[in-house]
Structure 1
């Protein structure tokens, strides 16, 4: 058991406080989910930051936040939208700086439409890279200053390599890769993408973060692990071949779903 990876969880601050014993017991990796909402970022969130700092006092696990993502296309054409993206990202990175958080999740801009049409339009691939770099270069620079690693999560990605190359194009250790297992399984089942473990393998040691959720290959279910059709043995074999020690974050919906997911991994001998 002691050689098995230790999984963490994506939780609201209230859930983290409620699950304090579970999370503190193994210093499980944590992702706070309270700071991605635009309404939160446009409010005075000082008190929420202070409450989070208090809850994290004495915590030995790695912790981060889910960054803003609603309506924020990171390869945008529009310079005004880029200003909004920068506002949201800089505020969230300020939260990371205040909390001492070492990762922040951001979303891939590479959509199924892009994948289907990238060979059709001239310079489409180069355009995505250029727009992404223009948008994200100042965000990555700020992340370097804060000491936070941005992890680029697959959303509608069909090609598991494209996002990896996109992140690497900025040439910074502060921009790495996340794999969401449910998103990958959706892309596999509904769009013809490779299976989930291939997304892990494509990221290789650029993989710093994994969202663990189960699904049926049709939608973004966020079911407890073991309730869907993901081949978890293959996923954890692929993770076990890495040297990057990615954060393994259970991100599921429903009462007791985190605990049920942990129990499933323990009972199958995959993680603790």
Structure 2
């Protein structure tokens, strides 16, 4: 058992292993022609596939067999490929048990630096994984910048404008004023002061209803409100700050942040109980 584990470990973490994506087009790979020091055979190149292999066609220039170790059950998702001749190339087809056909061109090479093993992945799966990883990294970056802004820091590389620009709000609700804009080539951040000037009404800010139109449809804005409830003027906290982080295409004139009945809701004041 130890020998089996050791062999698989060495073949899967080799420094010259390579991931190959496949689709409808032919894929070209290099197969080493290197004599083994312990036998007359050539050193194998390993190929791993996402599903078990049903058949390999037109591979007369190569010795192809399922990967195994000292009589242990073969893994039909992995094959060992050894060239029978020292040079040349051949087009082969690998049929997986789900009907997928992978077209390969195997090029024999004496280059000892050629990959020891290949991991084959469907192109769509590979691209989806890359896209997901990039999106996750982008979200982490967004959160880091937002955290710095909320902690009162000025991240390096940002330009900052101090403003006092009224923001359009529909209905008889709070007023809003753009006070800061921070920007670089990846982010645009708005800080908006929202003020309740009513002496009788309380308001609830529903940031989940904020509308922001940008060119980057794959990127959702981050929105933070210091306090969602605005008390009547002179009777508590009647002012708050909304911070909106988006991409550089964002424009305050294309935002809806304080429309009564949408992003702003009137809170019913509880009647005073008589003693």
TM-score range, shorter chain: under 0.3
Structure with bigger strand share is: 2
Q: TM-score, normalised by structure 1?
A: 0.19
Q: TM-score, normalised by structure 2?
A: 0.18
Larger RCO (CA under 8 A, 6+ residues apart): 1
Higher Cα radius of gyration: 2
